Each structure stands twice: as C-alpha cells, then as structure tokens.
Amino acid sequence: MAEEKLPTRADDFAEWYNQLVIRAEMADYAPVRGCMVVRPYGWALWENIQQALDKRFKATGHMNAAFPLLIPKSFLEKEKEHVEGFSPELAIVTIGGGEILEEPLIVRPTSETVIGYMYAKWIKSYRDLPVLINQWGNVVRWELRTKLFLRTLEFYWQEGHTAHATAQEAQEETLRMLDVYADFAINEAAVPVIKGIKSPTEKFAGAIQSTTIEAMMGDTRALQSGTSHFLGQNFAKAFNIQYLDVNNTLQHCWTTSWGLSTRFIGAIIMTHGDDQGLVLPPRLAPIQVVIIPIYKNDVERSAVTEVVEKLKSELGAFRIKIDDRTEVTPGFKFNDWEMRGVPLRIEVGPKDVEKGTLALSRRDHPGRAGKSFVPQTGIASNVADTLDDIQKSLLARATVFRDANIHDPQNYEELKEVVTKGWAYSWWCESPECEARVKEDTKASTRCIPIDQTSGSGTCVVCGEKATKKVYYAKSY
Amino acid sequence: MAEEKLPTRADDFAEWYNQLVIRAEMADYAPVRGCMVVRPYGWALWENIQQALDKRFKATGHMNAAFPLLIPKSFLEKEKEHVEGFSPELAIVTIGGGEILEEPLIVRPTSETVIGYMYAKWIKSYRDLPVLINQWGNVVRWELRTKLFLRTLEFYWQEGHTAHATAQEAQEETLRMLDVYADFAINEAAVPVIKGIKSPTEKFAGAIQSTTIEAMMGDTRALQSGTSHFLGQNFAKAFNIQYLDVNNTLQHCWTTSWGLSTRFIGAIIMTHGDDQGLVLPPRLAPIQVVIIPIYKNDVERSAVTEVVEKLKSELGAFRIKIDDRTEVTPGFKFNDWEMRGVPLRIEVGPKDVEKGTLALSRRDHPGRAGKSFVPQTGIASNVADTLDDIQKSLLARATVFRDANIHDPQNYEELKEVVTKGWAYSWWCESPECEARVKEDTKASTRCIPIDQTSGSGTCVVCGEKATKKVYYAKSY
C-alpha cells in the first residue's frame, strides 16, 4: 500500500510513462518478449475508443467483417513494396496439427493481401462497388524495441479496406476516413492532431499515398496516431480485383486501407498525463466520476451512505465508481484515482450531509484550484457541465502546448536546434535527400505535409531550393 | 442473378447448410484450408450476439481484457490433461523476425495457461478476489474436418476466466455463467438449449467438471453451444495462482473458464432455418425489417417513395433496410430476403399508398399464411408486436421440435434405433464403458446429464445396472 511517487515527466518522461501504464493497471508485460496484456482498465478505455470510431464508420456506410489471422506466405510476396516493408517483421507458423506445413503461414501483420484475395472473389460488377469493410482485430509485427501500447509484437486495431470503381472515389474515401480519425481524436480524445500527407519515404509499404494524423506528446515528440492510405491499383493488380463497368469492360478496382490501433491509448496518456498520473478525457474515460464516502464512525457512515446512494441513482447517465474500500484512507483514494486519471471526484462527508453540499474535484486542475463545493440539488446537470468543461479544457490546453512547441526555424542551424525541443514547420523542396539529411543530423523525420496549409512558396530550409510545401519535422515515437 | 434452389433439408441437410451459409453471405472459405471469412452479414449477427452476452457479463460483474495471442510452448505443458487435450491441434510459430525462435510459440487454442500466469502475478491477497475477466478474441485449433462456423481452424469467441477464494464460489460462478448462456440462447436466439454436466470423458481438458448448453439442430443432431468449466485448483497449482487469506496463510485459488463461440451462429442457422433459407430471431437479426417499394412508373415511384421515407423515420427504433435496387424484380427481392432470414418484410405499392395500408410478411410463416395487410397508422407498434410474436413463435416451434425428437428407449436395441433419428434420454450407470459402447455401436455420445432433472433411479439402458442419473445420448456436430 506504500505509495511511491512516479518519476516526474521533466526528469524522465519515458520512465514516467512506463511506470504509469503499469501502476494505473492499463497494461502489463506478457510472458513473451514484446507482447502486452491489456488489463481491464485499459481495455475499457479501448472499448470506448472502439465505440466512438465504430459509430463513425457505420455512419459513413461501412460494415465490419472478420478475415483470417493466418495468411499464405506467397500472398505477401505478390506486392513488391509490401513484402519488402513487412518481411523483417513476420511471425511464421511452420507447424500445424503436428506436421510441418507445405506452405508456411504468416500471422497477419496487416490484411491487405488476404482481403484483396477475397475481394477478387466477391466483386464482379460495378453494382458491387464500393465495397466498404472494416475489421477489428489483432495483428503481429516482430518489433525489436517495444513499449507498452506504442510498439508491441501483437497489437489491437481496426483496419478498413475499401474497393472503388474510380481513383477519385478511392481518394475521397482516403480523406473521408482521415477526417473521421481527426474528428474522433479532437472531439472524443481531446488530442489536437494535425492531418497531413506522409512523404514517399515515410508512407505505407504498397501505398500510392499515405495520410496521417500526427499528435504532439507531452515531451514534444510526435506520434503517428492513425493512417489512411490510397493504394491505387497496386493490390487490385496483384490480386486481380476486377469489375465489369457499365460498358461491360473489365477494370481493376482502386482500393484504400486505413487503421487506428491501441497505440492511440499511448497518445492519450502522453498528451494529457501529468506528474500525478493519467488525465483521461471525460468522453472516453472508463470511469467519469468517482464517489468517495468519508466518515469516522457508524452514525456518520450511515448518513453519508444515504447521500451516496442517492447520488448513485441520480448519476445513472454517467460511468461512476463508488470507492467504499475500508482498508485504505480517503487520502490514499484521492491519490489513487488521480493517478488513474478519473476526470471528476465527488467527496461526501458528514459536513456535506449536514449542509446539503458535495465537494467536487476536477482532475484537470489538481489540488485546491480544481476543488469546489456545490449543492446536492441539481448534481446531475452540474456533473454534465463540469465534464463538458473538462473535455474542452483538455483540448485547449493540449492545443496551446502543441502550438507553443511548433517552431519556424529561419535556417538549417535553427532547424537542428528546434527539433531537439519541439517540431519544426518549414518549407521543403520535397527531395528525399533533404529529408534524409535532417534525419541523419537530428533523428527528426518528416511527419506530414499538412493538408490545410495556405498556398505559397519559400525556400527549403535544408538546401535553399524553391519549395511550395511546408512540412513538419519532429522526433517521433 | 439466376436463382438456383437450395437443396432441401430433408434431401441433404449438410449440403443445405453449406450452400446456405455461402449464398446468404454469412461466411466464405478463406484461402487457408479450414479457415473462414465471416462476411459483413454474418459478422453483424455476431456483433448482436456479442452485445447480448457482453451486457450479461457486465451485469454479473465481469470486465473485458486482452491477453496475448502467442503463448510459450512450455506453458501448455504445465497442466497434464490440458497438454494432452490440445497437443494434436496446435499451430506453432517457429520463426520470428527472420530468426528461428529459441522457444516455439503456440497460437493460443484457449488462454487458461497464459491467463493463469498473469493471475499469479496480479493476485496477492483475498482482497484481490474474485478476479472476473472476460476476453473477446480469436483462437486457432488445427481441426482436420472443418465446416463453416461449426468447426474451423480459427474461430471467434469469448473466454471468461475467473479466480476465487473458495471451491464453492468457483462452482457457483461456473453455474452462474451457464445460466447466462442458457438465458441468452433461449431469450435472445430462441434456441431452447438444455443445461447439463458433461461426462468425464467429454469434459474440457484440464477441468474438474464441465457444464454445457446443448441444442438440437434441424436434423436432430446435437450441438454443444457453450460451455462453463470448474477448473478446481488444477491451473492454480500449475501456475502458482496463490493468495494470502484473512489469516495470512497462502492458499491456491479456485478457477473457472467459460466460452461461447461463432459456432453459435451455426446453432441459430440449423435450429430455425427452413428450405427457403435462414430464419433469424428478431432480437439478433442484423436486419429486422426489409422494406420493398413496388411501382411501375415514375408517378407511382414518387408516391411510394414518400410512404417509404415516412416508414423509415417511424421505424427508427428497428434495424431496417430499404431495398430500392432497380436491376431486380420485387419477386427476386422477396426470395432474396427470405433466403437471408429477415424476420419481417413490408411491401409498399401504389394500392397501399391509395388505401393507407402496408403488406406485412412474416418470415416464420412463409407464403400466404404469414401475410397480412395493416394500416400505415401505428406501424411502429405493429412492427414491435409482430417481431415479439415471431421471436416467441420461433422459440415455441423449436421447443416442440426438440421435445418431439427426444425419445425414451426401453432397452438397448431401442436406444440404438432412436439415436439414428433423435436423442435418447436414458438412465445411465455413469460407467465410461457403457458410454463408450454406445459411441462405438451408434456414433452417439453422451451430451449431458441435465441439471434440472427430478431425482430418482432406474436401470442403465446399456448394462442394466442401477442408475441415479439420466443422460442424453445423441449424434453431434
């Protein structure tokens, strides 16, 4: 029960994160190197993320389905860039039912290939298009350096895979789903992501163009938080996904894929967390309100419990938790739920019973600043308003932090300096050489060419050549 | 578009099933032998099953979590019966990231072992108990003879894993979850399952006692549709899941596990389906009501569309589909949605516009018998009542069918005869020899000793010895 302090974020951000994930019981290390167990508190957060996204997928016409975990090795080899991108990361089943398999099977690192095979079987005519399918599932990539949620051998995600009659429709779909991700990130998770296009060097293996939402973590490093890819006809040609058009001519489809994973839990933790622990956005928090009864004797207990029971019934619309543990002190409970990031705490003590009040504490302003005393009457609407306000304040705070840490270096020396402590937003000539030079000199990579940028031109901050696009450079997870 | 008739159930039940699953687009064969793709229509049914179960799991205090797909091979070997039960069925990863692994990894066939390992890490004191966790996921068992939904190499399921301080609590949990399954099967899926205890021969590898819900399919064969296991201290001892009790003494936990899988989709298809195709219970059907506009010209179309739009807004509480395809006839649509098992069809034609009526067709009574004309006014409550009535009638019909096909053979010769066309419900001396003899002579196995049986005694129908329990014998899937 002894409480050890977390390392502060300023002292050791990485260690703050690692310890917090374990201590808040979000996840744990599995017995296999690099694999994780997502514990109930972490999974409840993921379920809320899933619901928020799934609602948006269905509203944009998608349905869910399930494709197989095991993929014939030969499938991955059909798309040249794809196999090069994924080969080093594969987990391979070579034995099944006690016998060595004739063709080894890959544990899917992503499902473009097997879905491409099925789409080729299902799609015959333009009337069958578009095909708009999403899958919630697990994938395996043999990563060497792992970190809970951010990079694990197995992770959980959704992968959308769509097939269209024209390039334009597929491109529109790619951007539609990027918008869905951005809307989810900003309005549900209060993570102010930036939408943009990946450089050719940084794109998905097999895509024509990859788009991304990029978030800034509390240490100013970037986290790629969701991606949406225009695959052109690459996979359609590799797997013969064809349809008869209105003129009865056989055409290859145009496809997209898009995914967001449990990595996003890491984004939430590292965007909002503080030195006391997690700070979860109310719309996604597994527990939105924790209620803590405070009493010294049985008489007080009985009076307090009555108010707590009334609260319980009045706050039925919220995800609440009553912490009635007797083996720990109220002070311990305050710290515990602060560490777990519950947005709002309600304390009920004998004085509150007497006065008809409650003590509210906001997680976004720890300590005295976030504490207020409110009447018991009208508590439901007070809680609703306060949670809304916390949601807004988290987004505002993260946006201010992000913008304060995006720099506009005037020359290459300045660029090298600013990416040690933030992002650079700079003109780029779009040559892979300049991109590579920055990476070699600073470890910062291009994150994205933002979609919402004003037109204009300048000079590449690396080579001085003319440039028509600005790009973000940052160190990333 | 040519419609070929399904084989009838009487002519070839197996082929009726196989073709129906494909044609109704519930599932398809994956490129890897024995694996399946669950298509959007099938997955939507599974999502409804998941919701109905998940609600019940959470109401009984369980939370979801996610444990790893890959399990060290040595883990499976720690529980003697468990490794013997699963060894022949394993898919084994021997290569990861381009290198041969020191210890091969098993693609989980079930998660008792890895969850046992984690519980040993998490559980310290009696205050940590009970641990009530469920997982939704995929597992792989290398089956030789496969059939879509019923037996595939990879399947989807939930597996609950709980740890308790006492044997009694664990046994209560085992039966509680069996009740949850039975309640779900009967009241959501209209599948009148029988709850019972598996014989020691038929139990789960590693359990002390397995309980099951058994359903009778349309060909009278039995389908094990969900199981709940009391694991005693077998896994607690194999993985050192221990806790300090109130007296500060170290004790082993008592554990349970329970699972229900996509196999249940097969149970729904084979319980309710008829020669026209699927018949889905309204509470789980992905589409509860299909609306078919009927018109011959633009004037009619516009009038009909107006009514359809009104219906759409009034039936917002139901899962509806408007079939406005122009390339197929209404008759084609009727057959198509009947084949897909949509419980209720509403036709809207010019005469309905004129008269303020609608034509309702119930899927549980195809043809004229299930058709009625109802006023447009009050359609929402009419639909609600009709769906309720269909739900009840499906359960009643399946119960009558089940009971009509359970026989009470008076001697062994009669038993051998009745299990060719139904189930036998007979006294059993509980010796594995009698059980084995029936299996050898008839291919029928003991399905379960029902929990709700009146006490009494009789003579074993196989050997004539005294018996105090009755058991179901049946051929099974």
**A87 contacts in B (CB within 8 Å)?**
98
Both tokens of residue B106? 């098993």
pLDDT more than 90, % of chain A: 95
How many Å lie between the alpha carbon of B140 and the closest alpha carbon of chain A? 9
Residues of chain A in contact with residue B327, where contact means CB-CB under 8 angstroms, are 127
Element (H, E) at B91: strand B91-96
What is the C-alpha separation between A51 and A44, in angstroms, rounded? 11
pLDDT (0 to 100) of residue B454: 85
Mutation test of the interface with chain A: which of B37, B48, B144, B332, choosing the one with the most A Cβ atoms within 10 A? Answer: B37
Q: What's the pLDDT at A3?
A: 59
Q: How far is A101 from chain B (nearest CA, A)?
A: 10
- Identical topology for domains B13-272 and B406-474: no
Whole-number pLDDT of residue B205:
92
Q: Quick one: angle between helices A298-314 and A379-404, nearest 10?
A: 80
B95 to A104: CB separation less than 8 angstroms, yes or no:
yes
Selected residues 135-194 of chain B with any CB under 8 Å from a CB in chain A? 137-138, 140, 142, 144, 153-154, 156
CB B47 within 8 A of CB B362: no
The answer to whether A294 and A259 are in contact (CB under 8 A) is: no
Which two structure tokens, joined as six digits, stand for B32? 């890897």
Exposure class string for B420-439: b at 16+ Cβ within 10 A, else e = eebbbbbbbbbeeebbeebb
Specify the pTM. Answer: 0.97
Q: Nearest-CA residue of chain A relative to B89? A: A97
pLDDT digits over A45-54, tens only?
A: 999 999 999 9
Tokens of B120: 């040993």
A136: left (phi over 0), alpha (psi -120 to 50) or beta: beta
CATH domain B406-474 topology: Translation Initiation Factor IF3 (3.30.110)
Angle between helices A263-272 and A13-23 (to 10 degrees): 110
Tens digit of pLDDT for each residue in B439-467? 999 999 999 999 988 889 999 999 999 99
CATH class of B289-386: alpha beta
Q: What's the token pair of residue A228? A: 């949406």
Under 8 Å CB pairs connecting chains A and B tally to 171
**Residue of chain A nearest B143, judged by CA positions:** A97
CA atoms within 13 A on the CB side of B127: 7
CA-CA distance, A321 to A312, in Å (whole number)?
A: 9
Residue among A269, A272, A274, A231 nearest A253 (CA): A231
Question: To the nearest whole angstrom, how far is the Cα of A372 from the nearest Cα of chain B?
Answer: 32
| Distance of alpha carbon B168 from alpha carbon B161, whole angstroms | 16
B24 touches chain A (CB under 8 A): no
Chain B hits for A83, CB-CB cut-off 8 Å, are none
Q: Is there a contact between B66 and A40 if contact means CB atoms under 8 Å apart?
A: no
Q: Is the pLDDT higher at A455 or at B126?
A: B126
- The residues in A 49-88 lying below 8 A from B, measured between CB atoms, are 63-72, 75, 87-88
For chain B (length 477 residues), average pLDDT per consecutive 10?
79 98 98 97 98 98 98 93 90 97 97 97 97 98 96 98 98 98 98 98 95 98 98 97 97 98 98 97 98 96 97 97 96 96 98 96 85 96 97 98 97 97 97 97 98 90 96 97
Q: Which among A70, A95, A142 is the nearest to B96, CB-wise?
A: A142
Whether B69 sits inside 8 A of A118 (CB atoms) is no
d(CA B304, CA B351): 9
Q: How far is CA B362 from CA B3, B157, B309, B383, in A?
A: 22, 31, 21, 10
Question: In this complex, is the C-beta atom of A119 within 8 Å of any C-beta atom belonging to chain B?
Answer: no
pLDDT at B3: 59
Contacts of A96 in chain B (CB under 8 A): 90-92, 142, 153
Does B97 contact A36 at a Cβ distance shorter than 8 Å?
A: no
| Cβ contacts of A32 within 8 Å, gap of 6 or more | A153, B68, B70, B71, B72, B105
User: Could you say which of A37, A38, A93 has the minimum Cβ distance to residue B93?
Assistant: A93
Residue of B nearest to A30 (CA): B68
- Contacts A327 to B, Cβ<8 Å: 127
A92 touches chain B (CB under 8 A): yes
> What are the angstrom distances between the C-alpha of A451 and each of A1, A118, B71?
50, 33, 43
Give A402→chain B minimum CA distance, Å: 32
- Quote the mean pLDDT of chain A: 96
Residue B97: how many CB atoms within 10 A of its CB? 17
B246 at A interface, C-beta within 8 A: no
Classify domain A289-380 by CATH number.
3.40.50.800
Structure token pair of residue A185: 């990130």
Instruction: Check CB contact under 8 Å for A140 and B70.
Output: yes
Chain A positions touching B65 (Cβ under 8 A) are 37-40, 42-43
Residue A378 pLDDT > 80: yes
Phi, psi (degrees; rounded to nearest 5) at A285: -60, 130
Fold of A407-474: Translation Initiation Factor IF3 (3.30.110)
User: Could you tell me which residue, A15 or A82, shows the higher pLDDT?
Assistant: A15
Q: Which CATH architecture has domain B13-272?
A: 2-Layer Sandwich (3.30)
Is beta strand A289-293 parallel, antiparallel or unpaired with respect to A344-348? parallel
Contact A227, A207 (CB under 8 A): no
Query: Crossing angle, helix B298-314 and helix B379-404, to 10 degrees?
Result: 80
> Would you state the structure tokens that stand for residue B102, as one six-digit string?
């020191």
Measured on CA atoms in the order A216, A219, A225, A231, is the torsion positive or negative?
A: positive
pLDDT at B370: 83
Q: Is A93 in contact with B107 (Cβ distance < 8 A)? A: yes
Cβ of residue B334 closer than 8 Å to a chain A Cβ: no
A278-292, A361-375, B92-106, B228-242: least confidently modelled range: A361-375
Nearest residue of chain B to residue A125 (CA atoms) = B1
pLDDT band with cut points at 50, 70 and 90 for residue A367: confident
Tell me the domain boundaries of chain B.
Answer: 13-272, 289-386, 406-474
